Structure formats: structure tokens, C-alpha cells
Amino acid sequence: MVSILHLVSGIGANWGTQSTHNLPPEIVVKMLKDNGFQKVKLFDADYDTLKALGNSGIEVMVGIPNDMLTTLGSLKAAEKWVSKNVSVHLSHNNVNIRYVAVGNEPFLETYNGSYLRTTFPALQNVQTALVKAGHGNQVKVTVPLNADVYESASSLPSGGDFRADIHNFVIQIVKFLSDNGCPFTINIYPFISLYMDSNFPVEYAFFDGNATPLNDGGIIYTNMFDANHDTLVWALKKNGFGNLPIIVGEIGWPTDGDRNANLQLAQRFNQGFMAHISEGKGTPMRPGPVDAYLFSLIDEDAKSIQPGNFERHWGIFAYDGRPKYSLNLGTTNSGSLVPASNVKYLERKWCVLKPDAKLDDPQIAPSVSYACARADCTSLGYGTSCGGLDARGNVSYAFNSYYQINNQLDVACKFSGLGTITKSDPSTPSCKFGITIEPYYGGAEQKFVYTRLLLSLILLLWTIL
């Protein structure tokens, strides 16, 4: 255990906040510390989140969303952003900011080139602004990219190079990072490969050594992570940047929303990854410690499900900070995840389909569609945690999700007279009907709380009654 503690003490976590009910930042920071996380990667620069990280000692990577890249094409705008989101927290709040992530997977193929020409100017300007503000030595820029920016013509790591259609754009960024002593950040997802290709060799996604080995000129690969990572190493080497530091910005496995997304496989993958990197061996082409951030810390029920329903279930913790499964991060003496403390829930009550309601009622289908479009029904469906519910259970699950997201307002359980509130937990052994946590409103939002609740109530009355 001592050696594990030494080698993986730097494991990081991605802390996303696309949720209808976020835990207060102070609770999350305590949870990070209790579990021995020494690094955290954010997707924006929310003031309350960063302030809560002050004096924690946790290394922070703050994020700049893709929709801000165009604006930061202006140096003046970049200087203003750095002053507000970096300088203030370094000097006044004692936040240990080490990186600024300029964009988030901006070259993703599904974006169809939308950010190809705005990413590099933003990167340049943020770097210039950091240096001008005197932070150049402590805070480094990077661009988290998806592994689809490189490929291998030979299907072997040694054939790796950056995709031809974006080659010049990537190399421009790589050279800039190299010139300024900044790391290359890559997100690697064996789960996505399995999700996209039913013929993907499942065992190759894991670290148990059960996969058919891949022989690349005498170098043996028994898992996708090593092979994918080294494809990047070869791509960098091939273009003259073989020594550029690499950060694994995201790696993980979801627990619901797909037949291959469950607690058992997530535990197997994440524990396997932790054991793999705890040895400190790195990959065949990059020996040494691996700098990585698990994806993700907490489930996010408001994430886009365009890539798949699993998107809302990446957390090693549930929405309320409860550990989903046993996971030894090698960072605490207990060897198991520590739950969030002082979490406040709403009442123990649920919204379900009335017992006397008929399933052939013409209002059932539109009510379920309405609820699922505005809440989270991604745990329903083939191979998911709630996939075994009967028809009435499916309707009740949809109703309850909407009811909880709307803070258990009575009007949110009307559904044309089909819904009823119960204090008897409708959960099954495999399917949990949630109770939401108390809504958190950040300091900057406090004065809008009552207005927002009033508007929400008016909207519900207008749409449901």
C-alpha cells in the first residue's frame, strides 16, 4: 500500500456541473480531499467552485468552454478573462491553479470543424495574458483533445499520425505547447470504442491481460489504453515532438444508459486502470508515471445525450455523492471511496402513476414524453438499471424524475390527473427511484432564487394544467 500511495497520489478527477441539482462546492471539495484526489479538472471557471478550492492544496485545471473561443481571439478579452478567473483566485483565494484548458475537445469530428480556426488564436492569447499577468511559470495552457485527432494507417501504434484533414491545425498547437513548456492533453475512452463497434474485442478494453495480444514490432499490447496512448506518442514523435508531456485528461467507464454501461464493468475498468498506473511503468513508449484525471467525479443528469444515454452516468459517485461501487484509488488508508458528508435531501416522497390509472389512457404517452424530455429517463431501456420495470413502472419512473427535478412541487406530479404522490419507496433491487437533494444556488445567483422559483411554478402551471 505504501508504494501505491506514493505512485498514484496524483490521480485527478473531472468535476462537471451539468446537473439540475449540484452539490454545494464546499461539500465536493471535502469529498475530493477525503478521497485523496490531488488534482481536479473543471470545464469552466465558476467563481464559487474555484473559491471553494482555495486553501485545499488541490491542483486545479480551469476550463474555457468552446463557445468562448471566438471571443478570446481578442487579446484584450483574454487578459480580462485571466484577470477575473485566474489572477483573482491565485492572489485572493489561494487556489492552486496549474492549467487552463482552452476549449474542450474542440476538434471532435462531430463538430464539423466549427472550432478549427478559433482554438489556436484563443490558446495564444490566453498564454500571452498569463505571462503578462506574471503567471507564466505557475499556470500552463493546454487543449484537451479527443483521441479521434490521431489514427493509425497500419492499425498498430507505430503507424500513428494526426488525421490528415486536421494535421496542420494540430501541429500548430503541438508546436506552441512545446515552445511554451505546456502539456498535450488527450481523452481516451475504450468504452466509446465498444459502444461504436459491436465487433470491438471486449477484453481489450480492460487491463486483465485476457485480450489477444497486439504485436507491434516486438512490443506487446494487451489493452487498448496503452495502444491508444502510444499511437499518440508515435504521432508526436513522427512530427518532431517526441518528448512533449502528455496528460490523460479523461478516462473512465459509465454505469448506466447502455448494455455495456453498468456497475460491474465500470468497477472492473477503473480499478484495472488504477492498478495499471499504480505500478508506475507507464506505457511501452512512455515509461514512467501516468498523469491522469478520472472521468468523472459525479453523475450529471443535465448533460447532452446526443452521444448516448450513458453520458449522464460517468460518475464514480452518484448525484448525491454516494459511491457507486468499491474503488481503491490507492490514496487513502481505507482503500475505499468516502461518500460526501452533510448532504441535504428533500422529503422522502415520490411521484408515481395512480394505481387506478389505465395504461391505455390516451394521456399516458404524451405525459411520459413530456416528463422524459424535461427530466432524465436514461436509466430506462434495454440493458439499463431500470430496464426490467414493467409498463407501470416505466411511467412512474418518468413521472418521478420530473417531479424530483422540479423540487417536488405538487404541480409537477399532476400529469393530467395521472400522477399521485406517495411516501412508499417504489424502488426495486436494481432500479432506484431517486429523491433529489436540496437545490444549491451560488453566491452570484442568490438574488435570483425566488424569481426563478416563481417563474418555474408559472411555467409548470401553464404547461401541465
- Per DSSP bridges, beta strands 291-294 and 12-15 are parallel
Task: Mention every residue, 6+ apart, whose C-beta is less than 8 A from residue 438.
Answer: 21, 344, 345, 346
Place of cell 485528461: 249
Vertex 440: Cα angle to 437 and 446 (nearest 5): 150
Radius of gyration of the chain (CA): 23
* Count of positions (residues) in the chain: 465
DSSP alpha helix (H) spans, 355-448: 364-374, 391-405
142: phi then psi, degrees, rounded to nearest 5: -155, 170
How far, in Å, CA of 129 to CA of 376, rounded? 40
Q: What string of DSSP letters covers 169-231?
A: HHHHHHHHHHHTT--EEEE--HHHHHHH-TTS-GGGGSSSS-SPPEEETTEEE-SHHHHHHHH
Smallest CA-to-CA distance from 104 within 73, 69, 130 is with: 69
Active-site choice (79, 250, 300, 311): 250
Question: 10 Å Cβ neighbour count for 347?
Answer: 10
Q: Is 151 a catalytic residue?
A: no
DSSP alpha helix (H) spans, 239-386: 263-278, 364-374
How far, in Å, CA of 272 to CA of 285, rounded? 20
Q: C-alpha grid cell for residue 222?
A: 494487451
Report which DSSP code applies to 70: T
Q: Do the beta carbons of residue 178 and residue 241 sit within 8 Å?
A: yes
Q: Is 250 a catalytic residue?
A: yes
Please name the amino acid found at residue 237.
Answer: K
Smallest CA-to-CA distance from 235 within 183, 146, 171 is with: 171
Place of cell 469552466: 44
Report which DSSP code applies to 235: H
Tell me how far the alpha carbon of residue 47 is from its chain's centroid: 19
Active-site choice (79, 105, 300, 311): 105
Report which DSSP code applies to 67: G
Q: Residue 420: beta bridge partners?
A: 352
Strand order in the sheet with 59-64: 140-142, 96-102, 59-64, 39-42, 12-15, 291-294, 246-251, 184-187, 144-146
Which residues are marked as active site? Answer: 105, 250
